[in-house]
Structure 1
Amino acid sequence: MGAVCYYVAAALHSFIACFSLFMQRASSSHHVHRNLTDGFTQIPLDHKVFEIQRPYDVPESARTLQLCKWSAQDVGGYDYSSGVWQFEAQGFVPRDTSGVCVMQIFGASHLRATTLMIRAYKGSLSYYRSPVLAPNIWNRWFKLNVIHDVDASTVKIYIDGIFVHEAAGHGGASHAFKCGVYSQNDASHYMESRWKGIKVFKRK
């Protein structure tokens, strides 16, 4: 009986040790993040450019920006050429909207127009055409964070707080965040995206 208890205790000790190691690795994984805006300062949106429209009897915090067919919104009117900038918002892509860019970083070099495009194709979000960043996004709100380090020439994308992709920058002297719907390859006839909680941050 004593031997059985010894082996059970040893096995339990081994399990606890392995579980503790697993939890340590999980907590340090790149998929687990602190507040993504730590170390950043929120930049007030410029209402001269970013106009808040109807309904006027609903608080601004409760309103949604809705963009349909080849329309987009410059976010805040802030063009930037250096430093580390971050876009944060909640997005919504209705069912059957496909083949469209819903968010981008405008500005690049070498005959490119953009440093980043996040597109919707058949219910998934992708970085340009690939890779797929998130499946099954039709008809649900998702949180999007994009961090652009101009000097390091990197762009990091987070969806619902989870890191999903890092890409190289594409140069350019001036950049701006945009969200909306731009027709791309194999675009659907109906296209729409909705946005709320739009914020812009700059690293301190």
Structure 2
Amino acid sequence: MKRLVGCNMLLLVVHLSLLYVTMVLAIDPTQGFTNVPLTSSSFIYQKPYNVPLKSRYSFDNGVRRFWVYSNDEPFERGSNTRPRTEAQIKPDYSSGIWQFEGYAFVPHGTSGATILQIHGAAQGNTTLLLRIYNGDMRYYDGVVIATDLYDKWFKVNLIHNVDEGRLMVYINDVKKYESHDQGPGDLYFKCGVYGAPSDTSKYMESRWRDIKIYKK
């Protein structure tokens, strides 16, 4: 009996210690930033060119739902890009410090899909891609940023310091990743679903709410 009580106490101490560490690491990434007001015209949508937007996107009760199939057409006729349903979020930027914030939900089964990106760079087309593979978030198809994200809402903050060439990714207010960017350019944030070049599920979906843009 004493041994059982001792084990339970040890587990409680470990749990509280982990909770304390998480609370210490968690911060508000938007401190010091100014909110950039968004309107309906701030969102520019891309979807398979041969279907209406409503067949791949919905906006109900504050939730933006994006979905696409791996055999869908690209966003414009003649493009060799992968299928996508995404929202480009205005304004564009080319200097300063900018931040995207939003709550994301990825249903079980979606894999090989970019759910958030910074489009534009000095080298290549993108500065950053955040992809979901089997419930885990990766930087492009490389470094694992967060795990076990299926079927739950999670908060994403993406900070781009253009002047210093730095990127930071926060998940649920904890910094998970930092790297250099790909150089300056005509830059903007995009969210939704965009099929990866390989290992893509037939059906891809992400949902977003409370999207905000900040600058400093």
> SS at 2:41's partner residue?
coil
Q: What is the alpha-carbon distance in structure 2 between the residues aligned to residue 50 and residue 202 of structure 1?
A: 17
Q: Tell me how far 1:28 sits from its aligned partner.
A: 11
Matched, 1:139 2:167: no
Residues 99 and 170 from structure 1, CA distance in 2 versus in 1: closer, same or farther, beyond 3 angstroms? Answer: same
Matched, 1:71 2:70: no
Q: Tell me how far 1:32 sits from its aligned partner.
A: 3.7
Rg larger for: 1
Amino acid at match of 2:32: G
2:11 aligns to what? none
Q: What is the alpha-carbon distance in structure 2 between the residues aligned to residue 116 and residue 97 of structure 1?
A: 20
Q: What is the alpha-carbon distance in structure 1 between the residues aligned to residue 23 and residue 147 of structure 2?
A: 25
The correspondence of residues 37-116 of structure 1 with structure 2, limited to 5 A, is 37-50=30-43, 62-69=61-68, 70-75=84-89, 77-110=90-123, 112-116=124-128
Q: Tell me how far 1:172 sits from its aligned partner.
A: 3.1
Identity percentage over the alignment?
Answer: 38
Residues 66 and 28 from structure 1, CA distance in 2 versus in 1: closer, same or farther, beyond 3 angstroms? Answer: closer
RMSD: 2.4
Amino acid at match of 2:120: G
Q: Tell me how far 1:27 sits from its aligned partner.
A: 9.6
The alignment's TM-score, normalised by the length of structure 2, stands at: 0.73
2:76 aligns to what? none
Residues 47 and 165 from structure 1, CA distance in 2 versus in 1: closer, same or farther, beyond 3 angstroms? Answer: same
The alignment's TM-score, normalised by the length of structure 1, stands at: 0.77
Residues 67 and 105 from structure 1, CA distance in 2 versus in 1: closer, same or farther, beyond 3 angstroms? Answer: same
Residue 42 of structure 2 contacts residue 91 of structure 2 at CA under 8 Å; is this kept in 1?
no
Q: What is the alpha-carbon distance in structure 1 between the residues aligned to residue 147 and residue 102 of structure 2?
A: 18
Detail structure 1 runs of 4+ shifted over 2 Å in the superposition: 26-29
> SS at 2:128's partner residue?
strand
Q: Tell me how far 1:174 sits from its aligned partner.
A: 1.1
Residue 117 of structure 2 contacts residue 189 of structure 2 at CA under 8 Å; is this kept in 1?
yes
Q: What is the alpha-carbon distance in structure 2 between the residues aligned to residue 28 and residue 96 of structure 1?
A: 31
Amino acid at match of 1:123: G
- Give the structure with the larger strand fraction: 2
1:151 aligns to what? 163
